[in-house]
């Protein structure tokens, strides 16, 4: 290669570089000039659609009508007085009955265990202990009350928690065997009013 050719190539390259830089400068200035009046493009969101909120889903669970019910639990109203001994004896959580009002009518006496204590109910297997309130076991009232097995009584009172065996024996004058029979009982009826038939 000749030296002349290299000089011409270098001169042409410098010229091309100057032309390229000039062209780029012209394009840049033209672009800046266009910025003064750019095409305006407005992007707006689509018209706002009303927001619809769905109501919350309510799920009701109830027993299937095809499911047979084998045993119905005893349902006891907490506001009405209990009127049947069987309600008390068949309630699984008898502690939940404490302080409930009881109004028994024509209830048979199953057995008498002391001056103030006796059993009432439809049978020996469905019976509840009744303890006379101290007010019924004093003065002239005590002489008028003579409770015997086989009698029918109308009794009003409150269900109270059963004390332990030793306390029951001491408080109510029970024998050890009578007090031992109370172990399966969770509540007793504290009678405030009794009518004999």
pLDDT 10s digits, 33-52: 555 544 444 444 445 555 45
Mean pLDDT for 14-43 is 59
pLDDT of 6 above 80: no
Sign of torsion over alpha carbons 96, 99, 103, 107: positive
CA atoms within 13 Å, Cβ hemisphere of 195: 7
Tokens at residue 64, please? Answer: 């299937």
pLDDT of 62 above 60: no
Distances (CA, A) of 1 to 12, 31, 91, 166: 16, 43, 119, 130
Mean pLDDT for 27-32 is 63
Sequence-distant (≥ 6) Cβ neighbours of residue 108 within 8 angstroms: 120, 121, 122, 150, 151, 152
Q: What is the pLDDT of residues 75-123, one digit of tens each?
A: 445 679 999 999 999 999 999 999 999 999 999 999 998 888 999 999 9
Which of 114 and 128 is assigned the larger pLDDT?
Answer: 128
pLDDT score at 59:
38
pLDDT score at 78:
65
pLDDT score at 10:
57
pLDDT score at 173:
87
Distances (CA, A) of 125 to 12, 86, 90, 186: 125, 10, 11, 15
pTM summary value: 0.58
Please, are residues 174 and 114 in contact by the beta-carbon 8 Å criterion? yes
Give the whole-angstrom CA distance, residue 61 versus residue 73: 19
Mean pLDDT of the chain: 75
pLDDT of 160 above 60: yes
Give the whole-angstrom CA distance, residue 172 versus residue 182: 12
Tokens at residue 61, please? Answer: 């669970």
């Amino acid at each position: 290669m000749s030296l002349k050719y290299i000089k011409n190539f270098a001169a042409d390259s410098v010229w091309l570089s100057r032309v390229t830089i000039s062209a780029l400068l012209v394009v840049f200035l033209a672009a800046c000039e266009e910025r003064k009046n750019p095409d305006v493009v407005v992007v707006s969101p689509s018209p706002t659609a009303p927001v619809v909120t769905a109501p919350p889903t309510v799920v009701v669970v109830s027993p299937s009508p095809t499911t047979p019910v084998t045993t119905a639990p005893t349902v006891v109203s907490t506001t009405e007085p209990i009127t049947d001994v069987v309600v008390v004896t068949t309630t699984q959580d008898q502690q939940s009955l404490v302080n409930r009002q009881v109004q028994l009518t024509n209830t048979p006496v199953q057995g008498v265990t002391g001056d103030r204590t006796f059993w009432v109910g439809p049978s020996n297997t469905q019976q509840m202990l009744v303890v006379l309130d101290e007010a019924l076991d004093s003065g002239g009232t005590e002489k008028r009350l003579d409770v015997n097995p086989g009698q029918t009584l109308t009794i009003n009172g409150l269900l109270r928690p059963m004390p332990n065996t030793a306390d029951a024996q001491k408080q109510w004058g029970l024998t050890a065997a009578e007090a031992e029979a109370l172990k399966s009982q969770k509540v007793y009826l504290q009678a405030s009013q009794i009518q004999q038939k």
